[in-house]
Each structure stands twice: as structure tokens, then as C-alpha cells.
């Protein structure tokens, strides 16, 4: 089984976390989609040019991070179970909220940070920040009496949240939300998440240093778990 990925990609990181959590053997193949030649070759595998892509042992190609994780969970039943049937709808709902309202809004805020100062903070950015804050408050409430986003078992929702909340600190500081901050600490204490973060941050720091307006990850406040 092969995974075509980029270590700095949050979508790639979601799948990597699932693979490491379930201890599934695979062959990693790094892809740099910003390289025109590499992208051209990669589009023969994934015509959309998006990462990651999973190639199964039978040669089947699977696109989209959440679909790849569902495939892995079905094919490799060892713990943790990332899509528990009893919580399936909630897990999927949380995953979509993180992806659409947090990750999507993060991308808008990130793009805004790279504009000239006088061009920043337009209407689209105001809307994105509002949706982002609403979604973060939603997670804060979910985590009031839970260890993980969908309960006491690590799930697809947490695979999605880990890289998203890490990169969110580039443009939005959520330390005023104690449940979310403590949750992020718990995520970072898991070996699978820590392993993915280490590899991803090396590449991400290189990319951040090359920006017109360089950014840095805001550190998490010291918080008890």
C-alpha cells in the first residue's frame, strides 16, 4: 500500500495520523505539487492533482482524506476504531464543521495575512472570522466533558482536528478557550500526532520563511489536561 502525500499538507497529516494510530504498514511517497513536472506526473495518479492519494495493494486509487481514513478503518479493524457506528453521524458532522468552518476560514485568514496592510480585513475576512469563532466555540462546548471530540475514543474527527488546530495558530489564537487548548495538549501528547507534527513542521517552517509576510505558530499556553 502506498500513500502519496506532502508532509506539510494538513490533509496528508490526517491520513498519516490514522495510519500511525492503527499501526498500518505503508510505503510513503512524498509529492511536491508546486513543482510543475512533479505535478504533471502526479496527475496521472490523481487527475485532480490533490493530495493525499492512497494506492491499495490491489492497485485501487482512493482520493480525499476522510474517504481514505474510512477505507483504512474498514480494512484494518484494529484499535482505535476511527468511525464507530454508534457515533458515525456525530463524527462525520464534527469532521465537516472542522473542515468547512475552521480549516476553510483559516485559509481565508491566511491569504489575508499575505496581502498589503491596506487591503486586509475586507468583508470576506470578517465573515470567515465569525464562522471560525462560531466553530471553535462549538468544539469548546463539545469538549466540556469529553476527552476526544466524539467521546472517550479517538476518532476520524480527532485525525482532522490535530493538523487543523495546529495550523490555525498561525492566524488565530484560541487560548481563551480552555477546553480546546487542553484538548490540543492531549492531541500533541499522542505519539502518532507528535510524529506527524515533527515531519510536517520542518517543511512548513521552510514555507513560512519564504512568505512575503512571514508568520509563526503561536505557542499554546501551559494548560492542564
Is residue 47 domain-shared with residue 140, that is, in the same domain?
A: no
Take residue 197 and report the three cell numbers written for it.
Answer: 507534527
pLDDT tens-digit map of 138-151: 999 999 999 999 99
Residue 135 lies in a domain: yes
162 within 8 A of 187, measured Cβ to Cβ: yes
Is residue 99 domain-shared with residue 132, that is, in the same domain?
A: yes
13 within 8 A of 20, measured Cβ to Cβ: no
Which residue do the cell numbers 462560531 mark?
A: 134
Is residue 29 domain-shared with residue 139, that is, in the same domain?
A: no
Quick one: pLDDT at residue 224? 46
Quick one: pLDDT at residue 159? 98
Is residue 102 domain-shared with residue 201, that is, in the same domain?
A: yes
Whole domain around residue 55: which residue ranges? 2-75
The residues near 185 (Cβ < 8 Å, ≥ 6 apart) are 220, 223, 225
186 within 8 A of 137, measured Cβ to Cβ: no
**CATH number of the domain enclosing 184:** 1.20.1050.10
Single out the residue of 135, 51, 37 nearest to residue 93, CA to CA. 135
Structurally, the chain folds into a number of domains equal to 2
pLDDT-flagged residues of the chain (< 50) = 223-225
pLDDT tens-digit map of 141-181: 999 999 999 999 999 999 999 999 999 998 899 999 999 99
pTM: 0.89
The residues near 194 (Cβ < 8 Å, ≥ 6 apart) are 188
Amino acid at each position: 500500500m502506498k500513500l502519496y502525500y506532502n508532509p506539510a499538507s494538513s490533509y496528508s497529516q490526517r491520513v498519516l495520523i490514522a495510519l500511525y494510530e492503527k499501526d498500518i504498514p505503508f510505503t510513503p511517497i512524498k509529492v511536491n505539487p508546486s513543482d510543475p513536472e512533479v505535478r504533471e506526473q502526479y496527475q496521472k495518479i490523481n487527475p485532480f492533482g490533490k493530495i493525499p492519494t492512497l494506492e491499495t495493494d490491489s492497485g485501487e486509487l482512493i482520493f480525499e482524506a476522510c474517504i481514505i481514513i474510512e477505507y483504512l478503518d474498514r480494512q484494518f479493524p484494529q484499535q482505535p476504531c476511527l468511525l464507530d457506528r454508534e457515533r458515525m453521524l456525530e463524527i462525520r458532522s464534527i469532521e465537516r464543521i472542522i473542515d468547512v468552518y475552521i480549516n476553510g476560514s483559516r485559509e481565508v485568514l491566511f491569504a489575508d495575512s499575505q496581502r498589503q496592510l491596506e487591503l486586509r480585513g475586507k468583508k470576506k475576512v470578517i465573515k470567515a472570522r465569525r464562522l471560525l469563532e462560531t466553530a471553535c466555540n462549538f468544539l469548546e462546548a463539545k469538549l466540556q466533558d469529553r476527552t476526544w471530540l466524539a467521546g472517550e475514543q479517538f476518532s476520524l474527527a480527532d485525525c482532522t482536528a490535530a493538523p487543523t488546530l495546529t495550523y490555525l495558530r498561525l492566524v488565530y489564537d484560541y487560548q481563551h478557550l480552555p477546553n480546546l487548548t487542553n484538548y490540543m495538549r492531549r492531541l500533541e501528547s499522542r505519539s502518532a500526532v507528535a510524529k506527524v507534527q515533527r515531519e510536517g513542521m520542518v517543511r512548513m517552517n521552510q514555507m513560512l520563511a519564504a512568505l512575503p509576510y512571514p508568520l509563526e505558530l503561536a505557542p499554546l499556553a501551559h494548560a492542564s489536561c
